[in-house]
Structure 1
């Protein structure tokens, strides 16, 4: 391993590292923007389907208490 006065890395290696960090930051920012635009996927329960009842599914009811 060659150690120069500028540190253990060559200028090309430092340039490649900075470029990799910039690309990773760009991908992360793009992902956050897409997440803000789209919101979570709720499948059939999202949007217009939120109020629709599902056939064969009963509403939640409390369990009848029995005398012990």
Structure 2
């Protein structure tokens, strides 16, 4: 096989793909670091709202 044969992708395309993978990896790593420092938002069911009972809602009970 000759080394001058043209491949599926050009050198510029391979370079762009490498940069895209590198940037995606950095973004994923940063997201994982930020996730360690923050708590998920539970909206109205958060810790300060957990003890509030909803009106006209009964506790779950078996049918039989």
Into which bin does the TM-score normalised by the smaller protein fall? 0.5 to 0.7
* Cα-Cα RMSD: 3.0
Q: Give 5+ residue unaligned stretches, structure 2.
A: none
TM-score by length of 2: 0.58
- Write out per-residue CA displacement over residues 8-52 of structure 1, whole angstroms, 9 at most, x where no aligned residue: 244322221110111111222233233333333322111211122
| Cα distance, 1:61 vs structure 2 | 4.1
Larger radius of gyration: 1
**Aligned equivalents of 1:54, 1:7: Cα separation in 2:** 68
Question: How many equivalent residue pairs?
Answer: 62
Classify 1:11/1:61 alpha carbon distance in 2 versus 1 (closer, same or farther; 3 Å).
closer
Q: Aligned ranges for residues 1-68 of structure 1 at < 5 Å?
A: 5=4, 8=7, 9-63=9-63
**Aligned equivalents of 1:7, 1:14: Cα separation in 2:** 13
Higher RCO (Cα < 8 Å, 6 or more apart): 1
**Aligned equivalents of 1:4, 1:13: Cα separation in 2:** 18
